Structure 1
């Protein structure tokens, strides 16, 4: 494996490990330590995602105009400062709702700048020794990236499963330290020459150029629309309903961490399989099938499985989510023009995580007045409707890529 790819994967896995910790720590601090109700939990989860609505497109424009490695490294450093700040506050008192909202918003801002810059390093990391790349190399690098992401998240969730024994302070310290190391690896990927020629345009003009490029390509337009739906329905449900279900089962933070770990185990298994077998020539059809499988899984969970059954279903859900994410990211890397890639990645991320913030709020409100299982049932029905509409359109279904080197 080339040294550049190794550094990229180490930096990516480090930031993902911190994310895996955050996925468990933040909602469980809110529910178990602060004692927030479902509606307030929805706000806390949304506070991490809402900054994407404001900053992601600007972050994409910045990563196209500056070196993506430097932007990603600074964003990872900012995340380390956020976790260190909460750790310091914990030394004095228990946080409240207002502080958790501020903490979540700061995490969201830093993450918004990290995501498009970090993902834009895929093409740089996929080059061979002659500085050339191909569609198959890009697809394989995306799969490696997803494996680093899910593997890092799995390790983070394993650490977070010790919440009851170690407490939040030690875990927050681990997050900050790992992010400091990851920022160093990402910074070493910077290039001496600028990533793109300087454009004498205002930020909003650069953003509009990226939106225009994405709109002109039917496959990207349909993919982004589907990602917006997935973010609102699937991620929003996952962020709010899953911790509520874990609390209803009455098994503590370790059971919630087990559900998250089962999800990530499924993602690792699916990504390793794709790394061995490839993504195939028709990634769009694969995304459609993942949407259908997700609908079936949410309907199945809505029937109220046993605690062990819920673990198995979460693992299956993780495998489906990983396959869909890897296929979607590969399509963006292959079809987005190089000079607009970071901006289109930011649009992709905005569609997914910006809508997820709204979905988390909607799931919190719905779960406040209805059972979480009912929320899952409606999400599954809506996913079936979305599958029919996207399959009927056909733009994403017809995407084909070459498999040659």
Structure 2
């Protein structure tokens, strides 16, 4: 039922809220001095698994839901097993009380706000969540169903195109280790996302998937470059909290963007929705460039 789907989504969201910052904070321990390559490699593995999962989701019409849920549950249990095998911290501390917890959260936000590298990247993730992630969650399935009359197999093709794009761009990044202008590259990729505006036009399904592939390519660069910047410039003592703020900026603004997209589609149509999102994204990223030093963020010498 719809209610069960909501509960499932909330449960997975809560789990990810704990897992993602913890996972990312471990990367510096295994980076061996090359955080850019480590982050991009981890993103490449994640995107590849997501592509595989989306492809499996296309079999829902043929296999039904139950086998796919069992498959997902098995994959999660395997991941949990290996998570327990990760090395433990050498130093343990007592759990903070409620007051100390809120103070630590406040410190995390303060560290983000006071960093000229991390703060603009966090703002960029808010833009991504509202303008891009929301449309990924709402607009793509809507177009697939309403414009092309396709079901789960068609939507799997569309989402696979997106994740294939992220893999493609990360393969390029991993073979170009000399990239130093991290902020400038990330901003260029943010502007690539404004090709969303072309979804306002009717087009063949293959061209639609190609545009989504290009969109995904830009997203792959944004995610990898932003995480690389955060990992590099976050203080060791506050890295976990800073990564949590980064994740909060992205994953809290994403649902807001989805609600906005749904409202605009229902009341003004799909074309007006993607035009509005693209214009807002273009203006927001432009202001980000003018008001911050995001384009000047570079790899440490």
User: Contact between 1:224 and 1:348, CA under 8 Å: does it hold in 2?
Assistant: yes
CA distance in 2, matches of 1:192, 1:384: 43
**Counterpart pick for 1:344 among 232, 238, 242:** 242
State how 1:85-124 maps to structure 2 within 5 Å: 95=1, 97-124=2-29
The answer for unaligned runs of 5 or more in structure 2 is: none
Q: TM-score, structure 1 length as denominator?
A: 0.71
The answer for unaligned runs of 5 or more in structure 1 is: 1-94, 128-133
Aligned counterpart, 1:191: 88
Aligned counterpart, 1:272: 171
State how 1:4-403 maps to structure 2 within 5 Å: 95=1, 97-127=2-32, 134=33, 137-194=34-91, 202-248=100-146, 249-278=148-177, 280-295=179-194, 297-402=195-300
Deviation, structure 1 residue 402: 3.6
User: Contact between 2:124 and 2:285, CA under 8 Å: does it hold in 1?
Assistant: no
CA distance in 2, matches of 1:332, 1:230: 16
Aligned counterpart, 1:42: none
Q: Structure 1 residues 339 and 367, CA, compared in 2 at 3 Å: closer, same or farther?
A: same
CA distance in 1, matches of 2:112, 2:235: 9
3-state SS, counterpart of residue 296 of structure 2: coil
CA distance in 1, matches of 2:218, 2:271: 20
CA distance in 2, matches of 1:182, 1:142: 19
Q: Structure 1 residues 314 and 385, CA, compared in 2 at 3 Å: closer, same or farther?
A: same
**RMSD, aligned α-carbons:** 1.6
Deviation, structure 1 residue 198: 7.0
CA distance in 1, matches of 2:122, 2:265: 27
Deviation, structure 1 residue 194: 2.9
CA distance in 2, matches of 1:265, 1:332: 24
Deviation, structure 1 residue 199: 6.3
User: Contact between 1:288 and 1:390, CA under 8 Å: does it hold in 2?
Assistant: no
CA distance in 2, matches of 1:252, 1:199: 48
Q: TM-score, structure 2 length as denominator?
A: 0.95
Q: Structure 1 residues 369 and 381, CA, compared in 2 at 3 Å: closer, same or farther?
A: same
CA distance in 2, matches of 1:192, 1:219: 28
User: Contact between 1:241 and 1:372, CA under 8 Å: does it hold in 2?
Assistant: yes
- Paired residues, number: 299
